[in-house]
Structure formats: C-alpha cells, structure tokens
Amino acid sequence: MTSKQRVLTTFARQEPDRVPINYSSNPGIDGRLKAHFGLKSTDDGGLRRALGVDFRGVAAPYQGPRLHPERPNRQVEAKWGWVTRYVEHESGAYWDYCDFPLRDADIETVARWPMPSPDHFEYSRVQAACLKNAEYAVHIGGPGLACIMNTAGFLMSMEQVFIGLATDDPACLLLIDRMLAVQVEVARRELEAAKGGVDFMWIGEDLGTQRGPLISVELFRRHIKPRHRPFFELARSFNIPVMIHTCGSSSWAYDDYIELGLTAADTLQPEAKDMAPEYLKARYGDRLAFHGCISTAGPVAYGSVEDVRAYCRRTLEIMMPGGGYCFAPTHQLQDNSPTENVLAMYETAQRFGRYR
C-alpha cells in the first residue's frame, strides 16, 4: 500500500498492510535523530522517510504584515501576538508562554486586538504541496487548529480562560470567536486550493488532566462543542475525515465528538484516566480510529531499549486487531528521550506492526 492508502484504510477501521506511523518531536531529539541518519538539520522529509512516517501536513503560508511588534528577550508571534520566553532545562530548552497581553482585557480591547486576515495567506502553494506529497496521507491543520482553551490561554492565560468560560465572559468569548473565525476561513480556502489533494483535517483541544476532565461536560457542551461544529461541517462538505488531538483524560468527550462526525482520536496518553489502550479499544474501537498511545513519559523517556521494544510491541498487540490504529507518540517526543530508545520505538513499529 501507499502511505495514503494505509492511513485511509486505517481511518476506515480496516486492516492495512501495516500500521501507519507518525512522528512529532522537540528540537533536541529531532536534531539527534537527524545526526544519527546523517541528515542535514533542515531535512525533515529525510528523517520522516527514515522512520517510515506515512503522514504529511500542508498549509498556506502567511504572507501578510507583522501585526505585533517584536520585544527584547521575548519572542512575539507575528500574526496573533502571544509572547514566549526561553527556558533552559536539564535536557534542552523550550519557549514558554508568558506575559499574557490580554489577561485583563475588556471586550473593547479584544475587539481591537490585531488578528490576521484570511486574505494574507498564500493559498496558491497548497496544491503543489499536495501533489509533492501525493503518496502520503496529507492533512491540513494540526493540534492547534480549532483549539480553544490553549490558544486563547496563550494570550489571556489559562486561568483567565477557565474563568471566562465558566462565567460567560464576553471578552473571553469574543477572543475565542474572532480567532476561530479566521481559522475556519483559512482552512476553507486551503481545502478549496488543494483541489482534492487533502485527505483529512486535524484539529485539537486539550480536554483533560491526568486524573480527569479539565472542565465539566456541561461547560464543554455550552462553549467548546458548538464552536467545533463548523470545522466538522467544513470537513464534511469536502468529504474528508477529522482527527482531533486531545491531551490528558479526554475519552469522556468522545461520544460527543462522534456525534459531530469524528473519525480518529489523537494523543491517547495511556497514563491518564480512561485512556489505557485496552479501555479505548474496547469502548470505542468500533467507532473510532486511534493515533498515538506511545507515551512520551514512559519507557521511551526512562526505560531501556528492551523496555521500549516490549512496551511498543504490547501496545501494538492491543490496538492492531481489526485495524484502526496509527502508531505515534502521545505528544512531541521530548529531549530527555535517549536516541536509541526512539530508534527502538520506530524499529518495533516497522517490525511488529505488519498485518501480512
């Protein structure tokens, strides 16, 4: 099978030739893997081919003006204006969200906040990217598309977003709705420009802690589910499936998303409540495909090579029967993951993820 056939067969909950494979990582481990394979630091495609990755993303690049000025000792996102600072840790570094320029904003301030125009994206490049990756499963979006709580939290802080959702705060809801309006229109134009070259839409919404839901079911149904509906409707109008990224204990929301038309659930952190592979396969295996399950906080980070092989093989044994499983890390592979463990992870998928 081609990668495209393999993924679409899996999304239909049927058995392909082998499980589809995906990859996501932090910069440190990404650089070490490229060095292992003798690749240039910019050769993302070469690394994905080396690991057997079946997925490729396409997007219309932003070509508009910088809407938010740069600041010393900070990174300011040009289109949306969120701010990050560089934080070093034992195994590397990352850019952490800070300052939260809309934390105390009223509705007038949110209404004036500069946001990108859908007219300022270069849609003419989308079809060429689809054609270049025609053998792969091509998606638009990713974990950040349609994400409400995290993305609004980048600007307003997570605390203020939770308060805003719980109290129906007009400023918080306006921020969310303005951002989503831009995103859904950009996604619409990307799909139109792709001319059938996109295979699925990937959206996201982190919904759980390790122990349970981040918000109540009532609050989810009042503010999150209705705002995700237009993305499902858009995908349906182009006859493509939707996969949603949901960190933490999130299976409590899957029935609602299935009602909207969800095809596949991503992340699947096995340590979280009601997210174990056995639970997910038994309860949702006849209605959902799965993407993830390989913990970035388990043996891949802290175990031996043999631990990793045994862990990945056991996950495959649980999730593979009947199809419907894509092998992938639960989130970005972290920089504290030994290179040899990550290699063992992907070697196990290639060796033991075959149906025939």
Q: Which residue's structure tokens are 């295996």?
A: 285
pLDDT of residue 90: 87
CA distance 8 to 305: 31
Number of domains making up the chain: 1
pLDDT of residue 26: 94
Cβ contact 199:8 at 8 Å: yes
Tell me, yes or no, whether 91 lies in a domain: no
Tell me, yes or no, whether 98 lies in a domain: no
Tell me, yes or no, whether 69 lies in a domain: no
Tell me, yes or no, whether 81 lies in a domain: no
Q: Can you give the pTM of this predicted structure?
A: 0.97
Kindly report the number of other CB atoms within 10 A of residue 20's CB atom: 29
Backbone angles phi, psi at 314, to 5 degrees: -65, -40
CA distance 104 to 73: 22
> Nearest 5 degrees, angle CA 75-CA 57-CA 121?
60
The set of residues, in sequence order, having a beta carbon less than 8 Å from that of 92 and lying 6+ positions away, is: 26, 27, 28, 335, 336
Calculate the average pLDDT of the chain: 97
pLDDT tops 90 at residue 142 = yes
For range 299-318, the mean pLDDT = 98
pLDDT of residue 92: 82
Q: Helix crossing, 27-36 with 339-352: angle to 10°?
A: 70
How many CA atoms does the CB half-sphere of 236 hold within 13 Å? 11
Tell me, yes or no, whether 78 lies in a domain: no
Helix (H) or strand (E) holding 97: strand 92-98
pLDDT tops 90 at residue 356 = no
Structure tokens given for 290: 């799965």
Dihedral, CA of residue 309, residue 314, residue 315 and residue 317, to nearest 10: 120
For residue 186, what is the domain's CATH number? Answer: 3.20.20.210
pLDDT tops 90 at residue 50 = yes
pLDDT tops 90 at residue 340 = yes
Tell me, yes or no, whether 79 lies in a domain: no
Confidence of residue 73 (pLDDT cuts 50, 70, 90): very high
Kindly report the number of other CB atoms within 10 A of residue 259's CB atom: 11
pLDDT tops 90 at residue 38 = yes
Q: Is the dihedral of CA 72, 77, 83, 89 positive or negative?
A: negative
Tell me, yes or no, whether 242 lies in a domain: yes
pLDDT per residue as tens digits for the range 175-223: 999 999 999 999 999 999 999 999 999 999 999 999 999 999 999 999 9
Helix (H) or strand (E) holding 243: strand 242-246
pLDDT per residue as tens digits for the range 78-133: 999 999 999 998 888 889 999 999 999 999 999 999 999 999 999 999 999 999 99
pLDDT of residue 31: 96
pLDDT of residue 89: 87
User: Could you tell me the residue range of the domain that residue 125 belongs to?
Assistant: 3-64+108-352
Structure tokens given for 137: 């499963």
Helix (H) or strand (E) holding 293: strand 289-294
Tell me, yes or no, whether 196 lies in a domain: yes
For range 280-290, the mean pLDDT = 98
